[in-house]
């Protein structure tokens, strides 16, 4: 049986090479060829002996998900639909800006958490992505975007904000994060890798210990009552517990603030009163708030970023990544049944 080398982080490469009787430096060479040079052909690895390459070919492949569709919006935002088998497809989005290129990476085929505003949530959940399917999105994007002398690595920032709740696929996501940070792979700094969660409190604490990258939290409401409606996981991990976990996380975080995402839903969470409640709620947490044009918050000395929604014309804006999912939760059928009852 062959293994996919995109599934391995550093330890996996070391074990694979040790199994072949290779010296430890071979693992580093392999990682660099695959992740830094984007190579998927063992014959291109010219500093590895032919005999070793032949052995590797018998045991391993280097394979990212296949591209089903590749679309570029007028503003340069590029979206790939990737086949991850058995009727499931995921989406990856690249957002070019003047000084950086940000890749939005998916972590699950679908999502079980059912946030009301989210296209992925409406599709239900099928399965967690493997390490190869997660890191494969970055590997593929760097290859497809093309390297040049000016931009040897087109992707400079990663946000785990695509389809799925990344902390619900903890082990595979952490392995992929470690590759993103590894100097023999992508060498991104922790500040340039952001994980966005809907608020799985115990997993936020685990991430703090395992791989503390920058943290973003999908907040979307300033009270438990409203948030439980919009982000149902709030019933299990209410705001007080969530914000306490955010404060604990800051001890280890690469940035001295937590980013809070707030999708403004007309007439639902966007009143002046909501803004006041939000300012009060976040008073004790060093925060940046994404996507909020509320004057009230600005007056309260919060750093407020109004996120430019990029790639609207190809459905790549927040909460619009949909892909295609074989729904194990049968959420769509249940919704349809309610609608026709």
Annotated catalytic residues are 91, 318
Span near ligand SF4 by CB under 6 A; candidates 20-28, 32-40, 114-122, 276-284: 114-122
126 vs 198 by CB, closer to ligand SF4: 198
198 binds ligand SF4 (CB under 6 A): yes
Radius of gyration of the chain (CA): 21
User: Which lies closer to ligand SF4 via its Cβ, residue 93 or residue 163?
Assistant: 163
Interface with ligand SF4 includes 65 (CB under 6 A)? no
List beta partners, residue 91.
Answer: 81
Footprint of ligand SF4 on 264-323 (CB under 6 A): none
Locate tokens 């996919």: which residue?
4
Site string for ligand SF4, 218-257 (x = CB under 6 A): x---------------------------------------
DSSP string, 254-273: SSSSEEEE----TTTT-SHH
Residue with tokens 């590029």: 78
Distance in angstroms (rounded) separating the CA atoms of residues 214 and 103: 15
What φ, ψ does residue 37 adopt, rounded to 5°?
-95, -10
Distance set, CA 340 to CA 57, 334, 335, 337 (Å): 54, 10, 9, 5
In the complex with ligand SF4, the residue whose CB is nearer, 38 or 121, is: 121
Rounded to 5 degrees, φ, ψ at 324 are -160, 125
Rule CB under 6 A: is residue 134 a binding residue for ligand SF4?
Answer: no
Q: For residue 119, give Cα distances in angstroms to 68, 167, 199, 211, 263.
A: 19, 19, 18, 28, 13
165 binds ligand SF4 (CB under 6 A): yes
Nearer of residues 178 and 198 to ligand SF4, judged by Cβ: 198
- Binding residue for ligand SF4, selected from 38, 121, 124, 323, defined by CB under 6 A: 121
Q: What are the residues whose beta carbons fall under 8 Å from the beta carbon of 317, sequence distance 6 or more? A: 309, 310, 311
Binding segment (CB under 6 A) for ligand SF4, from list 49-57, 161-169, 204-212, 288-296: 161-169
Q: Is 107 in the site for ligand SF4 (CB under 6 A)?
A: no
**Residue numbers at the binding site for ligand SF4 (CB under 6 A):** 111, 113-115, 118, 120-121, 163-165, 198, 218
């Amino acid at each position: 049986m062959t293994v996919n080398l995109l599934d391995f982080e550093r330890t996996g490469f070391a074990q694979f090479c040790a199994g072949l009787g290779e010296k430890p430096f071979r693992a580093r060479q392999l990682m660099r060829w695959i992740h830094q040079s984007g190579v998927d052909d063992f014959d291109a690895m010219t500093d590895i002996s032919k005999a070793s390459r032949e052995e590797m070919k018998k045991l391993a492949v280097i394979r990212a998900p296949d591209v089903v569709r590749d679309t570029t919006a007028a503003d340069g935002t590029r979206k790939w639909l990737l086949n991850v088998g058995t009727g499931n497809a995921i989406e990856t989005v690249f957002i070019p800006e003047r000084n950086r290129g940000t890749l939005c990476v998916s972590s699950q085929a679908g999502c079980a958490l059912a946030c009301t505003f989210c296209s992925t949530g409406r599709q239900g959940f099928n399965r967690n992505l493997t390490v190869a399917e997660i890191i494969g999105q970055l590997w593929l994007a760097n290859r497809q975007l093309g390297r040049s002398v000016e931009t040897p690595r087109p992707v400079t920032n990663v946000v785990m904000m695509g389809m799925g709740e990344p902390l619900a696929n903890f082990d595979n996501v952490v392995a992929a994060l470690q590759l993103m940070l590894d100097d023999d792979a992508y060498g991104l700094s922790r500040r340039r890798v952001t994980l966005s969660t809907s608020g799985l409190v115990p997993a936020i604490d685990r991430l703090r210990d395992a791989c503390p990258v920058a943290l973003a939290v999908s907040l979307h409401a300033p009270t438990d009552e409203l948030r439980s409606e919009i982000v149902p996981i709030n019933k299990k991990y209410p705001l007080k517990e969530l914000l306490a976990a955010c404060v604990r996380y800051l001890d280890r975080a690469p940035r001295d603030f937590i980013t809070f995402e707030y999708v403004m839903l007309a007439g639902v969470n966007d009143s002046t009163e909501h803004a006041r409640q939000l300012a009060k709620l976040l008073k004790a947490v060093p925060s940046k708030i994404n996507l909020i044009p509320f004057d009230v918050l600005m007056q309260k000395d919060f750093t407020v970023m109004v996120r430019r929604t990029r790639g609207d014309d190809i459905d790549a804006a927040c909460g619009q990544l949909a892909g295609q999912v074989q729904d194990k939760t049968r959420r769509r059928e249940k919704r349809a049944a309610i609608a026709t009852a």
